[in-house]
Amino acid sequence: RKEVEQDPGPFNVPEGATVAFNCTYSNSASQSFFWYRQDCRKEPKLLMSVYSSGNEDGRFTAQLNRASQYISLLIRDSKLSDSATYLCVVGGSGGYQKVTFGIGTKLQVIP
């Protein structure tokens, strides 16, 4: 079983749609959770950190479910510019943490 699992997609959705991605992690002691966005042949960029209480930034909402060991990303009112690969990044536990990346979920927003 992979440490961090994501559905690679692609998810093809029409403009204006709501889309949700999940990411499961295997290490129950994981402490830090992030969603990074990567455009084609570009660098990954931080989209959101994911906190226990959940957090929202405009059209984007991230949530953490520790009991079931997954994080989610919800995108409302999808825009063409949201087309990208969304990487789930999970940090370990202990004094020094190493991050583990998911393979990424590809989103294509269609006009």
Partner 1 sequence: EAGVTQFPSHSVIEKGQTVTLRCDPISGHDNLYWYRRVMGKEIKFLLHFVKESKQDESGMPNNRFLAERTGGTYSTLKVQPAELEDSGVYFCASSQVPFPGYTEAFFGQGTRLTVV
CB of 73 to partner 1, least distance (A): 17
Tokens of 39: 């455009």
Site for partner 1 in 12-51 (CB under 8 A): 31-32, 34, 41-46, 49
Per CB under 8 A, the segment of 11-19, 20-28, 69-77, 98-106 that binds partner 1 is 98-106
Per CB under 8 A, the segment of 9-17, 20-28, 60-68, 91-99 that binds partner 1 is 91-99
Total residues at interface with partner 1 (CB under 8 A): 24
Residues making contact with partner 1 (CB under 8 A): 2, 4, 31-32, 34, 41-46, 49, 87, 89, 91, 96-104
